Structure 1
């Protein structure tokens, strides 16, 4: 694992910018904070991005849940996590205007660089735009200091004309994210079926409630696959949206998938 960095002083911030942390897009983006830069409680993760073609550094399971949902949206074409709010002078000015204390580093009393959990690049119908997303558990929103920092963050993005959203993790979003994680895992590991396997598999899938085990058994018998490839193919069909499913049903726990649409090649 790469060595963690200390971000305690203005000189540390300048060095990070010189090394292009917080800069770039797509595969060239380097998050301001990486997993190894932050004290872990065992909930951080590195996840291979399907759209960015790079590894994403996520600092909590809540961020992971948001990441899976954001990446699964058709309109999202790039995700930049741990995005720094620079220049520092702007966030300090906003804090002063709001009459609140700007976040600082206790060890050095240096004003800290605030980060937004995710900056999404979106594209649809010929239009390109950005959405900034902060991830919070619902109970934290009642904390006065958390609310102050959210206001600061919201105004920072508002001044740039960027929509700022708060992603609240609930039982429903956890289930949806878990389903997306399960479905996209083979793709993240480089799995790619043959085109004829995909088309043949789609003819075997009906709309409605199905058992994953029974569908994979059909693939094994009728397509001549082993169990691992059959399951990977089924998950690929969901991840690539060849089939549309109800994400609210906990697939991993129940083994049941509700198919809402089968998208055959035209």
Structure 2
């Protein structure tokens, strides 16, 4: 005879399993926190991410957004799983006992499901690797003792062979974070709708001017290109930002004004003729990565089951 679920921990786990939280890859992934549960924590950000299969990402603060953008900017990143739940409560409880720590609990004293802020999937040296990341304010770096929950999560991921770290963030207060947020939105628009023939021509003109290395800054390149071809300077600036967002021009993001930086410090990363196909190539890579992520997560889940 099946006994009734009695503890809040058991009810929480049953709810997570029913809703599929922490399960799936790419567009099918279900985070461990719902929109309703995240309300009131901070300034919320909701947006779609093509690299994550086009699903909606919900982040509860500027700090979480900043860390997400930094991980997303890495070309090796193939998928990001926000609010990843450690549903194996018995395993985390045993880890807490072994470490002599008090496991975070619900109101009835039963152990709560721990959540890792971000599980990052990266393609490195021909292999797919996972990285577990929790997020904290930069003000807490070096001043606040490591919480029991983080110590438990660190040991949990260590046993699975997954590196764990805490990312200290200052939110969108840095120049780099602001540029990353702007470039992210530009890249998503290009990926979702592609480029018009006019936009492609503008990008070719800007790239050609960059190769001449005659101007002093990226903004000068835009102005000279516009003046030479009799087109709007604003359109050339938009083309330059698209090229940077799609990683076709590499430049520093740690500057107050993105385009007012020396042209000599930038690098054109691809042949000119390839820039028009960048959205198609990126979408094809994303589909391939999603299949590989699914295979890796399947092996991780199998390992978790064997250890319980």
TM-score (norm 1): 0.83
Which position in structure 2 is the counterpart of 1:73?
74
Which position in structure 2 is the counterpart of 1:3?
none
The residue matched to 1:257 in structure 2 has which SS? coil
**Change beyond 3 A, Cα 1:56–1:218:** farther
Which position in structure 2 is the counterpart of 1:197?
202
> CA contact under 8 A between 2:103 and 2:148: conserved in structure 1?
no
**Change beyond 3 A, Cα 1:237–1:174:** same
- The Cα of 1:196 is off from its aligned counterpart by 3.8
- In terms of fraction of residues, the more helix-rich structure is 2
- The Cα of 1:215 is off from its aligned counterpart by 4.4
Which position in structure 1 is the counterpart of 2:135?
135
- The Cα of 1:258 is off from its aligned counterpart by 4.4
Q: Counterparts of 1:200-211 in structure 2 under 5 Å? A: 200-205=205-210, 210=217
**Change beyond 3 A, Cα 1:104–1:224:** farther
**Change beyond 3 A, Cα 1:139–1:263:** closer
Quick one: distance in 1 between partners of 2:92 and 2:70?
28
> CA contact under 8 A between 2:85 and 2:113: conserved in structure 1?
yes
**Change beyond 3 A, Cα 1:31–1:218:** farther
Q: Does 1:58 align with 2:65?
A: no
CA RMSD of aligned residues (A): 2.8
- The Cα of 1:246 is off from its aligned counterpart by 0.9
Q: Does 1:257 align with 2:264?
A: no
**Greater CA radius of gyration, 1 or 2?**
2
Quick one: distance in 2 between partners of 1:234 and 1:251?
13
Q: Which moved more, 1:198-207 or 1:30-39?
A: 198-207
> CA contact under 8 A between 1:35 and 1:45: conserved in structure 2?
no
- The Cα of 1:131 is off from its aligned counterpart by 0.8
> CA contact under 8 A between 2:175 and 2:255: conserved in structure 1?
yes
**Change beyond 3 A, Cα 1:171–1:133:** closer
- The Cα of 1:210 is off from its aligned counterpart by 2.0
Unaligned runs of 5+ residues in structure 2 are: 1-7, 273-308
- The Cα of 1:170 is off from its aligned counterpart by 5.0
The aligned length equals: 254
- The Cα of 1:57 is off from its aligned counterpart by 1.5
Structure ranking higher on relative contact order (CA contacts 8 Å, 6+ apart): 2
> CA contact under 8 A between 1:119 and 1:132: conserved in structure 2?
yes
Quick one: distance in 2 between partners of 1:35 and 1:204?
46
> CA contact under 8 A between 1:131 and 1:164: conserved in structure 2?
yes
Which position in structure 1 is the counterpart of 2:246?
240
**Change beyond 3 A, Cα 1:239–1:143:** same
Quick one: distance in 1 between partners of 2:84 and 2:156?
12
TM-score (norm 2): 0.72
> CA contact under 8 A between 1:35 and 1:44: conserved in structure 2?
no
